[in-house]
Homo-oligomer: A and B are copies of this chain.
Amino acid sequence: MAAYDHPDPATFELTVVLRALADPARLEIVRHLARVGEANCATLIGTRPKSSMSHHFQVLRDSGILRTRIEGAQHRNSLRREELDTRFPGLLTAVLNAP
């Protein structure tokens, strides 16, 4: 499978990032990745079907919040913390620290 396209930090859009974070399922994914560093999709699926998860990962990827690295049959996801913090200083930290 071909590698994913990840947007350049200079093109990150605030409204797009905020909208990506404004969903409970995606917020959960982001919080989980912040804890474990890297995870494949399967370990992040709770009760939701794969197709729903795939959708959420795409939204997060397209907004610039996470990157997906392909290793064999697995897709390893991790937060793009540095890039995000360069473009929107303090934003991700504030979201992760929020109750």
- Counting CB contacts under 8 A, is A79 at the interface? no
- Counting CB contacts under 8 A, is A98 at the interface? yes
Q: For A24, what are the chain B residues with a Cβ–Cβ distance below 8 Å?
A: 15
Q: For A27, what are the chain B residues with a Cβ–Cβ distance below 8 Å?
A: 14-15
Number of copies: 2
- Counting CB contacts under 8 A, is A89 at the interface? yes
- Least CB distance from A89 to B in Å reads 6
Q: Which of B18, B87, B93 contacts A90 (CB 8 A)?
A: B93
A 9-29 contacts with B by CB, 8 A:
14-15, 18-19, 21-24, 27
Whether B99 contacts A14 by the Cβ 8 Å rule is yes
Give bound CA distance, A88 to B97, whole Å.
Answer: 8
- Least CB distance from A18 to B in Å reads 4
Whether B89 contacts A94 by the Cβ 8 Å rule is yes
Give bound CA distance, A34 to B23, whole Å.
Answer: 26
